[in-house]
Amino acid sequence: MTLDRFYPIFDRADWIERLVPLGIKLVQLRIKDASPDMIRAHVRRAQVVCVEHGCTLVLNDHWRIAIETGCDWLHLGQEDLDDADLGAIRTAGLRLGISTHDRAELARAILLEPDYIALGPIYPTILKQMKWHQQGTAKLTTWRNLIGGTPLVAIGGMSVERATGAFDAGADVVSAVTDITLNDSPEDRVAAWLAVTR
């Protein structure tokens, strides 16, 4: 399966309802601090929009809810992997993306044969405190050579202006968060992302 090259991440269904109709074809719902019922409600709202617009929806972390709500895709960070029932995830037919930051995490991810591997943060990010500083685009090239044909996602501090450099370094997909949600005009920013990734 070929993933779309533009992969925005949003923390609530409101963003997905607002921006997916503009032409987004791959999106992640990443909700960190909310009740299971609240997460389910956002997932169901996001599913309706994504089905209507032919967009692939990826749920971050909440693997039980992903199975329960019939999601097709799940993204797990390294900490999430510690607690996830990978057998149940695979039995449910979920496709899986995994975050990586260093060689040990990459080796662990490769053994799980994910449907994509993400590397980050490529640039400094304001989104969350991380023990890893910016990885740089050269590390994308290293990862590209190590993971063979598995799709590679660049994440962390990514912007429209930096996207081409990430693709040139070997990324198949570029993920964006605050570059869209903190923009004065998220709609215009999405249009710019679509222009640079299509």
Q: What is the pLDDT of residues 160-176, one digit of tens each?
A: 999 999 999 999 999 99
Architecture of domain 6-197: Alpha-Beta Barrel (3.20)
Say what the pLDDT of residue 153 is: 98
Residues (pLDDT < 50) of the chain are none
163 token code pair: 């996207």
Distance CA 130, CA 102 (A): 13
Say what the pLDDT of residue 127 is: 61
Say what the pLDDT of residue 85 is: 97
Q: Cα–Cα distances in Å, from 150 out to 1, 16, 20, 166? A: 10, 26, 25, 16
Say what the pLDDT of residue 123 is: 94
Say what the pLDDT of residue 156 is: 94
Say what the pLDDT of residue 128 is: 57
Distance CA 101, CA 114 (A): 15
Say what the pLDDT of residue 23 is: 98
Q: Tell whether omega for the bond before 121 is within 30 degrees of 0, i.e. cis.
A: yes
Tens digits of residue pLDDT in 134-163: 889 999 999 999 999 999 999 999 999 999
Say what the pLDDT of residue 133 is: 72
* Contact assessment for residue 150 and residue 116, using Cβ atoms and an 8 Å cutoff: yes
Say what the pLDDT of residue 139 is: 96
